Amino acid sequence: MEKYFVLNDNMKVKYDVSGNGPAMILMHGWGCNGSTIQTIANIAAEQHTVYNIDLPGFGGSSEPATVWDVNDYTVMLEHFVASLNIKNPIILGHSFGGRVGILYSSRNSVDKLVLVDSAGVKPRRSFRYYLKVYTFKLGKMVTRLLVGKEKAAARIEQMRKRNGSSDYAMASPMMRSILVKVVNEDLKHVMPSINVPTLLIWGENDTATPLRDAKIMERLIPDAGLVSFPGCGHYSFLDNPYQFAAVLRSFINK
């Protein structure tokens, strides 16, 4: 059932409710929406009341009016949980949704946490990455000097689209600013504060959030266990749906 939660600033957050039983909240990754993780919702709804959220800026939810960080998304989730009177939910986050799940679970009461190919560890940066960044910054400065600040804006935006990730290129100006902010946030310092059973499910060929990130999380989160799937990438729940379902059911239904 499709519903909307309205924040104090009239921001609408779309979510779907399905199933019956203890509460479980699902959060998708960047550039996706609740439909991306609908197969996970279907599994969870067998024994849980599932709240599958379109995070602000995605799907049917409003875009933030300011440049949000992970804390802002987490505060949104805290308001959502309080407003619906949800008690001690299981939290599941894929990719960017995992960032919100990590921070939420570090400071709120939850039953269990499931992180699927989750972000949360600041990416390692190669020399090539920094060369690309500083080349872009130099190009930006030269463009402004040659054509002036006003005319340079359109050219610089084209440079950003050519040199940025596909997530960046497809996002609106506001969501690009949010992406730049959240992707550089490192949540390792809050992981030891997560004191509930935590399941990490990963694709061993994940290049967006590599398996080494999962091993860091497993080390830092006190009661964490890692299950990894060979031959799977960043969407391990789609690459290996049957094993994923078996692992998830075993963890959330006991």
User: 29 and 150 share a domain?
Assistant: no
User: 66 and 43 share a domain?
Assistant: yes
Q: 163: domain range?
A: 127-174
User: 115 and 136 share a domain?
Assistant: no
Of 219, 199, 53, 15, nearest in space to 116 by CA: 199
Tens digits of per-residue pLDDT, 47-75? 999 999 999 999 999 999 999 999 999 99
Task: Count the domains in the chain.
Answer: 2
Domain annotation covers residue 8: yes
Angstrom distance (rounded) from CA 161 to CA 151:
17
Enter the DSSP assignment of 69: -
User: 96 and 132 share a domain?
Assistant: no
Domain annotation covers residue 84: yes
Domain annotation covers residue 13: yes
User: 3-state DSSP call for residue 51?
Assistant: strand
Which carries the bigger pLDDT value, residue 81 or residue 172?
A: 81
Domain annotation covers residue 179: no
User: 38 and 98 share a domain?
Assistant: yes
Q: In the prediction, which pLDDT does 172 show?
A: 87
User: 75 and 201 share a domain?
Assistant: yes
Q: In the prediction, which pLDDT does 140 show?
A: 47
User: 15 and 96 share a domain?
Assistant: yes
Residue carrying structure tokens 């409710």: 17
Domain annotation covers residue 25: yes
Angstrom distance (rounded) from CA 173 to CA 143:
20
User: 115 and 137 share a domain?
Assistant: no
Of 114, 111, 95, nearest in space to 233 by CA: 95
User: 134 and 236 share a domain?
Assistant: no
User: 190 and 101 share a domain?
Assistant: yes
Tens digits of per-residue pLDDT, 74-127? 999 999 999 999 999 999 999 999 999 999 999 999 999 999 999 999 976 443
Domain annotation covers residue 180: no
User: 142 and 191 share a domain?
Assistant: no
User: 210 and 141 share a domain?
Assistant: no
The token pair that represents 20 in the structure block: 């019956």
Q: In angstroms, how far is CA 72 from the centroid of its own chain?
A: 13
CATH number at residue 212: 3.40.50.1820
Sheet holding 2-6, edge to edge: 2-6, 12-19, 49-53, 23-27, 90-94, 112-116, 198-203, 224-229
